Structure 1
Amino acid sequence: MSRPAWDWRLSDLSNVQKNGRMVFSCFSCGGGSTMGYKLAGYTVLGNVEIDPQMMRIYRQNHKPKYPFLLPIQDFKALPNQELPPELFDLDILDGSPPCSVFSMAGDREDKWGGEHAFREEQAVQRLDDLFFDFLDVAEKLRPKVAIAENVRGMMVGKARGFISLVLSRFRELGYKPQLFLLNSATMGVPQKRERLFFIASREDQNLPSLQLEFNEPPILYGDIRSGEGSPINPDSKTYTRWHKRRPPDLNMGDVTEREEGKMSNFNTILLKDQKVANTLASSSVFLRTDQPRHISDMDAIRMQTFPSDYDFMDANVQYVCGMSVPPLMMKKLAEQINLQWLSEK
């Protein structure tokens, strides 16, 4: 009996037929997008990553031909003659610029324009500028297609003006951009994860508009649930609140609002076997509804459709998964781009 698509291994990639398309990944983190492209038959030549720990993990799992451990601002400033010629003949330039300033959580608009370190060990950067740094790389390398992924929050409130600036910049560079809001739950991923994709083709190719429609059946948490997970600390407020949950509650915020009159803990999610899991964020807390336990690492791996033999080394499993594009989500997208745009007629 064949395994479901979400139950796969890195070793399976050796059986995937190559399509001859070349990709380079920016802001690669643990390589969620990289694995999606590889599952779709692409060759990923290398990556740019600022985080030393993520680069160690990326090297361990993906063996990139051309890894660049440096800020994207430094990468785009490298003289063209110092870069491999292959990077100037890309089919796809891929990137997921860090998106915390567009998150729906907290006082997000207060963060715009400020300088932040995305996490410890990283350089301080203006995170809302990173999208335009990525576009500068597109201007430098001139790939056939550029793909940038970001959070749904970019479509809300004042951030919509940022979208207009990004689209205008794509057009200035000679690209025809399209914008897609995709839900991973319709793409074979056991998780409701809405993400915004900017997909742009170079104008000189005269390609038609990309058509995307995904209707995979939902995969419930109970279908992928595995292992025990760590118990909730019995001395914690979370444990007390967990015992006060009611069937309609979706998260611990529903409990605290009802029982304590507080608006907090909405980032602590209650997972039900008969429901599709919520977005796996790097900072979220996921609790099982039917037992006082957190989800297991394998649950997180399967929710994000990472391979079961992925080597997380010294990193937190949920952090790496939550910071990545689900590989099966990118696989579905990459397949359509090859089918509709890159394949020879």
Structure 2
Amino acid sequence: MSQHEYIWSLNDLQRVPKNGRKVFTTFSCGGGSTMGYKLAGYDVIGNVEIDPQMMAIYRANHNPRFPFLMPIQQFKTIPDSDLPSELFDLDILDGSPPCSVFSTAGKREEKWGGEFHFREGQAKQRLDDLFFDYLDVVEKLRPKVAVAENVKGMILGNAKGYVKLVIERFNEIGYDVQLFILNAATMGVPQKRERVFFVARRRDLCLPKLVLNFNERPILYSEFRSGRGRPLDRGGKTYQRWLKRRPIDRDFGDIGQREEGKDSNFNTILIKDHKVANTLASNSWFVRYDEPYFISEQDIIRMQTFPQDYDFLDADVQYVCGMSVPPVMMKRIAQQIDAQWFSKLQ
């Protein structure tokens, strides 16, 4: 493995000592969480994924023993007798239910209760129900531990009522749950990415509360910067705005507000060598402050702590990375769950 933990390859997983713990993951997307568990020594035995393209990527890189290409609503209705017995002896059931309806960007409350295509080509779903579908699978499979990731917006404002219902459902099915707001920048990931993690332990195991405190050194953009991405179009508005940037500007929305009196293009972010990168999202763009270029795909892969040799097939690299939990972030959590809980059960 590289001297930098966030620069690694899939081959490195062969040298990770195994801890004997089994994980099954739902909403697996490109496999970010899966790689985090593997980096921590877990065996990820299968996945549920609705998107054929994401499942193809997952299969190509992880070769799961028990893959289920279907909506989670369909998976949870499969008779127990038709499922592999290993799924009823899990250490962790993982899941990151799609969370765009809780994002603080836009008028999120207007989306609650509606049905949407999370992505073109997928089935239309009520996105704010997906967490409860995940909880139905927790109740069905009864893992020792359940881990679910979501956006920070889920615990802000009116969404707090939703979280209360999630906690009540965990309690109802026999789990004690803790919520953690974690910043990837404190966990060895080179980006400021705040996420909420629900970590639930099965009550009959009588496990203590989990303690998660991370305080690793921030990783600046200059430390992993590589190559160049696409140049800005010299005849385009983005380039004209870039020419008017100032050191205080965080994104092109700041420039537009100052120069044109309108706050647009806020998801095109100025990235600076002496700063930690902002959250990598599937719909954001990073432009270098010191030259009119987007960042490189190599930068995106490193920023998300994906392996250097990951096969993205024909998918957009940033989409896959932006939709995933950074592997190193999940590795840190999984290591603590093993050290504080599973090692005590032996």
Q: Tell whether the structures are fold-level matches, with TM greater than 0.5.
A: yes
d(CA) in 1 for partners of 2:254, 2:245: 8
1:52-91 map, 5 Å: 52-91=52-91
Which residues in structure 2 correspond to 1:136-151 (within 5 Å)? 136-151=136-151
Q: Deviations over 1:215-244 (max 9, x none)?
A: 110000110111111101112110100000
Q: Deviations over 1:108-149 (max 9, x none)?
A: 111100000100111000000000000000000000000110
Per the TM alignment, residue 186 of structure 1 is displaced from its structure 2 partner at its CA by 0.3
Taking the aligned partners of 2:42 and 2:86, their CA distance within structure 1 comes to 14
Q: How much has 1:2 moved relative to structure 2?
A: 4.8
User: After superposition, what is the alpha-carbon deviation per residue over 1:187-222, rounded to whole angstroms, capped at 9, x for unaligned?
Assistant: 000000000000000000000000010011000011
Q: Secondary structure at the match of 1:77?
A: coil
Question: 1:29: which partner in 2?
Answer: 29
- The answer as to whether partners of 2:28 and 2:96 remain within 8 angstroms in 1 is yes
> What residue in structure 2 maps to residue 273 of structure 1?
273
**In 2: Cα distance, 1:263 partner to 1:229 partner:** 25
2:130 aligned partner: 130
Deviations 1:74-131 (A, max 9, x none): 0000000110000000000000000000011111111100000100111000000000
Rounded to whole Å, the distance in 2 between the matches of 1:137 and 1:2 is: 37
Partner of residue 312, structure 1 = 312
1:182 corresponds in structure 2 to 182
Alignment check: 8 A CA contact 2:10 2:309 kept: yes
Amino acid at match of 1:48: V
Helix, strand or coil: the match of 1:134? Answer: helix
Q: C-alpha distance in 2, partners of 1:262/1:121? A: 34
Superimposed CA distance per residue, residues 239-265 of structure 1 (whole angstroms, 9 cap, x where no aligned partner):
100000001101001000000000211
The sequence identity of aligned pairs, in percent, is 69
Separation of aligned partners in 1, 2:290 and 2:306:
25
Cα deviations by residue, 1:51-77 (Å, 9 ceiling, x for unpaired): 000000000001100000000000000
Distance 2:122 2:68 in 1: 14
Count of residues in Structure 1 that have an aligned counterpart in Structure 2: 345
Quote how far apart the aligned CAs of 1:156 are: 1.2
Amino acid paired to 1:199: V
Q: How does 1:294-305 map to 2 (within 5 A)?
A: 294-305=294-305
- TM-score w.r.t. length of structure 1: 0.99
The match for 2:161 is 161
Counterpart position of 1:18: 18
Counterparts of 1:2 and 1:14 in 2: how far apart (Å)? 14
The residue aligned with 1:7 is: 7
State the distance in 1 between where 2:157 and 2:40 align.
35
SS in structure 1 of the partner of residue 336 of structure 2: helix
Q: Distance in 1 between matches of 2:43 and 2:11?
A: 15
Query: For structure 2, which runs of at least 5 residues remain unmatched after alignment?
Result: none
State the shift of 1:155 in Å: 1.4
Q: Is the 8 A contact 1:229 1:296 kept in 2?
A: yes
CA distance in 1, matches of 2:172, 2:128: 19
Q: Does 1:338 pair with 2:338?
A: yes
Give the CA RMSD over aligned residues. Answer: 0.8
SS of the counterpart of 1:275?
Answer: coil
Query: Secondary structure, in 3 states, of the residue corresponding to 1:343?
Result: helix
Deviates more, 1:86-95 or 1:262-271: 262-271
Q: Is the 8 A contact 1:52 1:121 kept in 2?
A: no
Is residue 155–residue 163 contact of structure 1 (8 Å, CA) maintained in 2? Answer: yes
Cα distance in 2 for partners of 1:153, 1:233 equals: 34
SS at match of 2:305: coil
Q: Is the 8 A contact 2:2 2:8 kept in 1?
A: no
C-alpha contact (below 8 Å) 1:23/1:44 kept by paired residues: yes
After TM superposition, the structure 1 stretch with the greater mean CA deviation from structure 2, 19-28 or 1-10, is 1-10
Gaps of at least 5 residues in structure 1 are: none
Could you tell me how far apart the structure 2 residues matched to 1:187 and 1:25 are?
A: 22
Runs of 4+ in 1 over 2 A off after TM superposition: none
Paired AA for residue 68 in structure 2: F
Q: Give the letter for the 2:70 counterpart.
A: L
Q: Aligned equivalents of 1:206 and 1:90: distance in 2?
A: 17
Task: State the TM-score, normalizing by the size of structure 2.
Answer: 0.99
Structure 1 residue 3 displacement after superposition: 2.2
